[in-house]
Amino acid sequence: MALSDKEQRLLEQLEAALAAEDPKLANTLRGTTNRTLHRRRAAIAGLGFVIGLATLIGGMQVAWFVSVIGFLIMLAATVVAISSWRVVETQQPGRHPETDSAFTDRLDEPWRRGDDAF
């Protein structure tokens, strides 16, 4: 259901007042959160990985040191992507890393004890 012009103006005024009063809450409600930043950073790192791969393959035709540079770009992109993705995973609502690790520890317990039967 569409809003009338009067309701739309009122909503815009409320949004502007909220942004002026509490910018952090306004950004959170808009979706520009730390999580969004890290997702974007992980996506850019993925693009960097592809560029590094292309440089590595192209460097085989040109010179060996170009391939090394491509590998280093891939390595840096991977480190950035993994660190950013970890931040995104730990910020998911309802997710508790302590509980998750305890769960996996319980799954690994029979292997550590050497039990054959589960």
Indicate whether 73 belongs to any domain: yes
Distance CA(47)–CA(84), nearest Å, equals 14
Residue 79, both tokens: 């480190």
Asked, for residue 118, whether it belongs to a domain, the answer is: no
106 lies in some domain: no
Answer whether residue 55 is part of any domain.
Answer: yes
pLDDT in tens, 24-78: 777 767 765 677 778 888 889 999 999 999 999 999 999 999 999 999 999 999 9
Residue 65 tokens read as: 């040191």
Is residue 40 included in any domain, yes or no?
A: yes
Given a contact cutoff of 8 angstroms between Cβ atoms, the answer to whether 108 and 62 are in contact is no
Number of domains the chain is built from: 1
Instruction: Give tens-digit pLDDT for 47-57.
Output: 999 999 999 99
Cα(71)–Cα(77) distance, integer angstroms: 10
* Number of other CB atoms surrounding residue 74 within 10 Å: 19
The answer to whether residue 82 is domain-embedded is yes
Domain annotation covers residue 83: yes
pTM exceeds cut of 0.75? no
Residue 7, in any domain of the structure: no
Domain that holds residue 75: 33-93
Q: For residues 89 and 20, what is the distance between their CA atoms, to the nearest angstrom?
A: 31
| Rounded distance between C-alpha atoms, residue 110 and residue 6, angstroms | 66
Rounded CA-CA distance 73/59 in Å is 13
